[in-house]
C-alpha cells in the first residue's frame, strides 16, 4: 500500500525566533536576518524529519490507497491535535467524506491512531492509488516544544551559520562542529506532552 504526506498549511510560527538564533550565534547586526530565518526553517525541517514530529501547528494530508485491514490507521506526524476530515473514493468511484462519528482518534500515543468507532468498520474503497485522504493538524503550541529540541535546532543553526560547508578541511578533515551534538539531542526521547 503506497502512501504519501503533503503539507496543506505550513506553520505560522517556528520553535526558535530570529532573535534567539542571533543570540545563540553571537550575531549583533541585522544584515543576516533573512539568512538566519532560512536557517531556522531548514533546521526545523531537519529536526521534524528526524523525529517524525511537527513543532508549529501544521495541517497535513495523508494519502493512502485504502483503509488498513484490522489495524489502526497511523498518522505520521506528532503530536496530533485534530483530524479535520477523512475523504475516500467508494466502490462506485464517488468521493465521500467519512462522518466523524464513524471513527475515533487516539492522539495520546505515537504514532497517533485512527480506529473505526464501536460497531463500525472502515468503508470499502475503489482499488486505486490515493483512494483515502486524511487531513489532520499536528504540532505544539510554541511554548511546549521540548527544550532539548529547541537546543538541537539552535546547535544546527549555529553550525550551519558558522560553516557554510558540510566538512571542514585543513590538516584533518572533520565533521561539521555542533552537528553530532544536535543529532544526540534530537534523538533524545521527549516527555509526554499536553495541548
164 within some domain:
yes
CA end-to-end distance (rounded Å), the chain: 32
* 150 and 134 within one domain: no
Residue 67 C-alpha cell reads as 483503509
193 within some domain:
no
Q: Which residue is it, cell 526553517? A: 41
Q: How many domains does the chain have?
A: 2
Angle (CA) 52-96-109 rounded to 5° is: 25
16 within some domain:
yes
pLDDT in tens, 134-166: 999 999 876 788 899 999 999 999 999 988 665
- The overall average pLDDT reported for the chain is 86
150 within some domain:
yes
pTM of the model: 0.78
pLDDT in tens, 28-76: 999 999 999 999 999 999 999 888 889 989 999 999 999 998 889 999 9
| Residue 53 dihedral angles phi and psi, to the nearest 5° | -125, 170
Distance CA 100, CA 136 (A): 13
Q: Which domain holds residue 36?
A: 3-55+142-186
Distance CA 19, CA 33 (A): 9
194 within some domain:
no
Label residue 170 exposed, middle or buried (CB < 10 Å: 0-12, 13-18, 19+): exposed
Alpha-carbon separation of residue 54 from 17, 117, 149, 193 (angstroms): 16, 26, 11, 13
Amino acid at each position: 500500500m503506497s502512501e504519501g504526506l503533503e503539507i496543506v498549511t505550513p506553520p505560522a510560527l517556528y520553535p526558535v525566533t530570529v532573535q534567539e538564533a542571533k543570540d545563540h550565534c553571537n550575531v549583533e547586526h541585522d544584515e543576516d536576518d533573512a539568512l538566519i530565518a532560512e536557517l531556522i526553517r531548514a533546521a526545523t525541517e531537519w529536526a521534524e524529519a528526524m523525529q517524525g514530529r511537527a513543532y508549529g501547528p501544521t495541517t497535513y494530508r495523508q494519502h493512502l490507497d485504502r483503509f488498513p485491514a484490522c489495524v489502526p490507521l497511523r498518522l505520521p506526524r506528532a503530536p496530533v491535535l485534530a483530524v479535520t476530515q477523512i475523504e475516500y473514493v467508494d466502490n462506485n468511484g464517488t468521493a465521500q467524506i467519512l462522518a466523524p462519528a464513524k471513527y475515533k482518534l487516539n492522539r495520546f500515543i505515537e504514532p497517533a491512531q485512527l480506529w473505526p468507532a464501536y460497531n463500525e468498520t472502515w468503508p470499502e474503497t475503489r482499488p486505486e492509488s490515493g483512494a483515502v485522504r486524511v487531513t489532520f493538524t499536528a504540532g505544539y503550541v510554541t511554548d511546549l516544544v521540548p527544550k532539548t529540541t529547541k537546543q538541537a535546532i539552535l546547535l544546527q543553526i549555529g553550525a550551519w551559520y558558522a560553516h557554510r560547508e558540510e566538512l571542514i578541511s585543513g590538516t584533518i578533515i572533520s565533521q561539521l562542529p555542533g552537528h553530532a551534538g544536535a543529532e544526540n539531542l534530537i534523538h533524545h526521547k521527549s516527555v509526554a506532552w499536553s495541548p
